[in-house]
Structure 1
Amino acid sequence: MKLLLATDAWRPQVNGVVRTLERVSTELQRFGVDVAMLTPDLFRTIPAPTYPEIRLAITTPGKIGAMAAAAKPDAIHIATEGPIGFGVRRWCLRNRRKFTTSFHTRFPEYVAARWPISPKLSYAVLRWFHNAGNGCMVATRSLENDLRSRGFERLLPWSRGVDAELFRPRPNARTDEVPRPVFLFVGRVAVEKNIRAFLDLDLPGSKMVVGDGPASVELKRDYPDARFPGVLTGEPLAEAYANADVFVFPSRTDTYGIVLLEALASGLPVAAYPVAGPLDVVGGTDVGVLDDDLRQAALSALDIPAERCREFALKHSWPACARQFLDNLVSAQDLSVETRALAMADGR
């Protein structure tokens, strides 16, 4: 089975979409799937408006179509609604090729936070984009219900995973270099992440913001007492989680939040608003506190044992995430019996 995976979100970006696609493509190859990636690093790029770290491919529909055809894929998945995603979508429709998509980011809300563009208009464009495919994968039930109410069709569940070997409790990593308790946020430092709501909280100890983005300079200026180590990956990121006491997630617009699972795998309880994303991941569990009073949520989360958080996170694996993705691919694109059997054989 050969899969063409087209995405406008790719390295060197550091975010949940890129991490998901990296891990899922790796797991799919272990299942015997030949994954061909169509990514921005294959083209000349320009920085996205207000997001210079995000590079947009400069290309033509003809070139995109030629590259898609050269891959000779059995299945096609379009992960993002950018220049590459639009180009592959156009090629699929012109050549009557079935394809699936995935909805990762609430762009209408992000756009509305920067420009006077109605989310209703943006959702109409996204609905047009995704409804042309044979299935749109979504991470949570809340997101599925929301998109269905907006007219999105053929929605398929696709959860997320965590690298529990990298992200784990590390008693030796805990230091007293900063006052404790340590309240941590990890993610893109941008207006839609609502980080000010976290930094404005009257909390004991210290606050740390790991990541970078268009709001970094402004937040560093306005909150000199908070720590901003910048982007961390791999072991340094895992150690930052392990050295904290509570993971505070102030976003009201995330579709999932892989960082929630990374924090839990590291033994960190979660404090967040009771909104889609946190509700889907930790709602109804005893590993986080969801409250419209984010300060109270953060303080209450201090009493949650690290072992309980770790045990919860271990139920979420990347192989399981990849198998769910593969199930969706096979059913939505109606692959042959032989290909279906190959795709489903490993891990069953």
Structure 2
Amino acid sequence: MRIAIATDAWSPQVNGVVRTLQSVRAELERMGHQVMVISPDLFHSLPCPTYPEIRLAFATTGAVGQRLEEFSPHAIHLATEGPIGVAARRWCLSRDFPFTTAYHTQFPDYVAARTGVSPEWPWRYIRWFHQPAEGILVSTGSIAETLHAHGLPQTRPWGRGVDLSLFGDVAPDPGIRALPGPVQLYVGRVAVEKNLEAFLRSGHPGTKVIVGDGPARAELEARYPDARFLGARSGAALAGAYAAADVFVFPSRTDTFGLVMIEALASGTPVAAYPVPGPVDVLVPDVGALHEELDRAIALALTRDRATCAAYGRRFTWAASARQFLSALVPGYPEELAA
């Protein structure tokens, strides 16, 4: 099967969307499918305002369409609502070619957090982009309910996975392990919409460690000098950080899933979070704690058993995620062909 994925999020960006698409592509290719990714690195681009590491591609319908025509896909998936996604959407509609989309990020909430405008304005754009899709892939039931409430009922489930050869199989980082405990870890973008300051303001004793980078890092690092900002990590260095922490803190209120939560769990580290979409769908009481008071969530999560956390986190696999992706692209796709 030939599958085309159009995405405005791709390497060298470091985020959950990119990791998801790269991991699922690898699984699809392992199954024997051909996957073409139309991404910003194929076009001239400019830095996104306030997010310079994200490139906005000058992707015309003609340029994207030429690549699609040459590939002659059996299925087309539009992963993002940016310029490449819009160009691919226009090409599909002009040819009555069915396509799926995905709702990876709470775009209306992100825009509201950064600009102060009402989320209803960006929701108009979200409805416009996704309404013609045969299916909208969502990572959790809560996000499906959100889309249904905004007039987008055609959701299809698409879970996430963990690289089990990495997370849970790397020794704890000795430098992080030696910090005064309990070590409280955050992994992700350092940006306003991640609500990281709620974690940095929390009063639970121990050491706060932040792995990641982003536009808010310099300001937050200056304002919270007791926290350890380690910058972006990947591979074994990231896995070692998860394994060294006593608790993983996920302060975001706007994520659709929170891939970092299951990576932490697979590493044996319990999770503390707010009771909001994403955490409420992913976490169960034995592996973490949800509370509107983040200090209380941290204290409760620290009582969870690490072996139980690891066993639960290892239930999330990219192979299962890829099978769900295929089924969403082609409803009724025989699962034995996806094995």
Show the counterpart of 2:206: 205
Separation of aligned partners in 2, 1:299 and 1:141: 27
> Is residue 139–residue 159 contact of structure 1 (8 Å, CA) maintained in 2?
yes
Show the counterpart of 1:78: 78
After superposition, where does 1:64-143 map in structure 2 within 5 Å? 64-143=64-143
Show the counterpart of 1:165: 165
Separation of aligned partners in 1, 2:76 and 2:330: 10
Separation of aligned partners in 2, 1:169 and 1:306: 14
Show the counterpart of 2:17: 17
User: Cα 1:6–1:301, aligned 2, differ >3 Å: closer, same or farther?
Assistant: same
Q: Which secondary structure state, in structure 1, belongs to the residue aligned with residue 115 of structure 2?
A: coil
After superposition, where does 1:307-346 map in structure 2 within 5 Å? 307-331=307-331, 340=333, 344-346=336-338
Show the counterpart of 1:177: 178
After superposition, where does 1:191-202 map in structure 2 within 5 Å? 191-202=192-203
| TM-superposed deviation, 1:173 | 3.7
Separation of aligned partners in 2, 1:266 and 1:117: 39
- Once structures 1 and 2 are overlaid, which stretch shifts more, 297-306 or 213-222? 297-306
| TM-superposed deviation, 1:170 | 4.7
> Is residue 169–residue 265 contact of structure 1 (8 Å, CA) maintained in 2?
no
1:267 aligns with 2:260: no
What amino acid does structure 2 have at the position aligned with 1:258?
L
Q: Which secondary structure state, in structure 1, belongs to the residue aligned with residue 298 of structure 2?
A: helix
Runs of 4+ that moved beyond 6 A: none
Separation of aligned partners in 2, 1:251 and 1:210: 15
| TM-superposed deviation, 1:171 | 5.3
> Is residue 164–residue 313 contact of structure 1 (8 Å, CA) maintained in 2?
no
What amino acid does structure 2 have at the position aligned with 1:211?
G
Separation of aligned partners in 2, 1:205 and 1:148: 42
| TM-superposed deviation, 1:242 | 0.8
> Is residue 174–residue 242 contact of structure 1 (8 Å, CA) maintained in 2?
no
Show the counterpart of 2:152: 152
Separation of aligned partners in 2, 1:197 and 1:59: 38
User: Cα 1:232–1:171, aligned 2, differ >3 Å: closer, same or farther?
Assistant: closer
Show the counterpart of 1:229: 230
Separation of aligned partners in 2, 1:313 and 1:251: 19
Q: Which secondary structure state, in structure 2, belongs to the residue aligned with residue 225 of structure 1?
A: coil
> Is residue 170–residue 240 contact of structure 2 (8 Å, CA) maintained in 1?
yes
Show the counterpart of 2:61: 61
Show the counterpart of 1:188: 189
| TM-superposed deviation, 1:129 | 0.7
> Is residue 183–residue 206 contact of structure 1 (8 Å, CA) maintained in 2?
yes
Deviations 1:35-83 (A, max 9, x none): 0110001011111111111111113222122122111101000000000
Deviations 1:188-210 (A, max 9, x none): 11001000000001121200111
| TM-superposed deviation, 1:127 | 1.0
Show the counterpart of 1:337: none
| TM-superposed deviation, 1:162 | 0.6
After superposition, where does 1:9-48 map in structure 2 within 5 Å? 9-48=9-48
What amino acid does structure 2 have at the position aligned with 1:328?
A
* Identical counterparts, % of pairs: 52
Separation of aligned partners in 2, 1:235 and 1:201: 28
| TM-superposed deviation, 1:285 | 3.2
Separation of aligned partners in 1, 2:115 and 2:141: 29
Number of residue pairs matched?
338
Deviations 1:9-49 (A, max 9, x none): 00011110000000000000111110011000101111111
| TM-superposed deviation, 1:172 | 5.5
| TM-superposed deviation, 1:165 | 1.9
Separation of aligned partners in 2, 1:13 and 1:81: 16
> Is residue 169–residue 267 contact of structure 1 (8 Å, CA) maintained in 2?
no
User: Cα 1:62–1:224, aligned 2, differ >3 Å: closer, same or farther?
Assistant: same
Q: Which secondary structure state, in structure 2, belongs to the residue aligned with residue 292 of structure 1?
A: coil
1:51 aligns with 2:51: yes
> Is residue 140–residue 281 contact of structure 2 (8 Å, CA) maintained in 1?
yes
| TM-superposed deviation, 1:131 | 1.2
Structure 2 spans left out of the alignment, 5+ residues: none
Separation of aligned partners in 2, 1:145 and 1:276: 10
Deviations 1:139-192 (A, max 9, x none): 000000111011013110111111122011655544553211100000011001
Q: Which secondary structure state, in structure 2, belongs to the residue aligned with residue 286 of structure 1?
A: helix
Q: Which secondary structure state, in structure 2, belongs to the residue aligned with residue 13 of structure 1?
A: coil
What amino acid does structure 2 have at the position aligned with 1:272?
A
> Is residue 103–residue 138 contact of structure 2 (8 Å, CA) maintained in 1?
yes
Q: Which secondary structure state, in structure 2, belongs to the residue aligned with residue 126 of structure 1?
A: helix
Separation of aligned partners in 2, 1:306 and 1:178: 19
What amino acid does structure 2 have at the position aligned with 1:326?
L
What amino acid does structure 2 have at the position aligned with 1:271?
A
What amino acid does structure 1 have at the position aligned with 2:323?
R
Instruction: Give the TM-score of the pair, scaled to structure 2.
Output: 0.97
User: Cα 1:255–1:60, aligned 2, differ >3 Å: closer, same or farther?
Assistant: same
Separation of aligned partners in 1, 2:187 and 2:82: 25
- Once structures 1 and 2 are overlaid, which stretch shifts more, 215-224 or 60-69? 60-69
User: Cα 1:172–1:211, aligned 2, differ >3 Å: closer, same or farther?
Assistant: closer
Show the counterpart of 1:7: 7
> Is residue 190–residue 212 contact of structure 2 (8 Å, CA) maintained in 1?
yes
